[in-house]
């Protein structure tokens, strides 16, 4: 691995507050589109598989021990919200993960660095790599740091589960217009990219976008982003 890649990776590791073998980090950041264009080198998909399991276990234990008054159904909903593609993509964006991912040219040109599925999969791959290199305790601690901003905000549970409904309910509570979505698509039929833009009209219009490999994913991402903007604006108005 080149010194340039190692230096770039060190910035990400500092953000994540972990140590990781450079080669393993490089693997965790390698998307399959990059592999296809570079002779079929290994991708992060196996690490993603492992990380998904570690993520689920860590979040399950955290919720069980923290929310002792919640029944099984409520715990299951909270877990689903914290490990969802929308939630993991939000976590990835917060730490600037997209800029580090190794993508093929096609994904690069179609907004792959902000595609929710790619971001979420890469978060899971990094968790898997951390487990292999640093062990279960460090991997669990990483998971808890990553999900803490969402887990500590009860509004986020509903948003992660159903962003569009949550946004519409918030807009209604604030006396605003119904959110309106506009969808654009690009790419070949077998690998389309969708970009959704949601607008809430008003004295100060709220506009947000989301990207995904499906219409639902793009609109959910846009709704989650708009909810965050609208919630922050409402909080500032009340301050």
Task: Show which residues are catalytic.
Answer: 52, 124
- 121 known member of a binding site: yes
Contacts of 104 (CB under 8 A, 6+ apart): 31, 33, 34, 35, 36, 37
Tell me if 177 is assigned to a ligand binding site: no
User: Position of tokens 């877990």?
Assistant: 79
Is 71 assigned to a binding site?
no
For the CA atoms of 71, 74, 79, 80, the dihedral, rounded to the nearest 10 degrees, stands at 140
Helices (H), 67-135: 72-82, 85-94, 105-109, 116-134
Q: Tell me, what DSSP letter sits at residue 97?
A: G
Cβ–Cβ under 8 Å, residues 126 and 101: no
Known binding positions for Mg(2+): 48, 121, 124
Known binding positions: 48, 121, 124
């Amino acid at each position: 691995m080149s010194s340039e890649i190692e230096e770039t990776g060190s910035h990400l590791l500092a953000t994540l507050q972990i140590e990781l073998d450079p080669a393993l980090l490089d693997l965790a950041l390698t998307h399959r589109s990059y592999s296809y264009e570079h002779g079929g080198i290994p991708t992060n998909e196996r690490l993603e598989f492992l990380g998904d399991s570690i993520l689920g276990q860590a979040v399950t234990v955290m919720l069980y021990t923290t929310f002792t008054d919640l029944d099984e159904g409520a715990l299951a909903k909270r877990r689903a919200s914290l490990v969802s593609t929308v939630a993991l993509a939000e976590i990835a964006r917060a730490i600037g993960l997209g800029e580090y991912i190794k993508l093929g040219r096609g994904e690069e040109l179609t907004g792959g660095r902000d595609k929710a599925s790619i971001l979420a999969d890469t978060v899971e791959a990094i968790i898997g790599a951390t487990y292999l290199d640093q062990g279960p305790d460090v991997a669990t601690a990483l998971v808890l740091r990553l999900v803490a901003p969402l887990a500590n905000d009860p509004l986020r549970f509903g948003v992660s589960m159903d962003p569009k409904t949550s946004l519409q309910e918030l807009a209604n509570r604030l006396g605003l217009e119904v959110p309106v979505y506009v969808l654009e698509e690009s790419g070949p039929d077998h690998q389309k990219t969708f970009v959704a833009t949601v607008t809430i009209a008003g004295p100060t219009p709220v506009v947000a976008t989301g990207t995904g490999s499906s219409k639902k994913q793009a609109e959910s991402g846009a709704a989650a982003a708009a909810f965050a903007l609208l919630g922050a604006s409402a909080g500032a108005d009340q301050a």
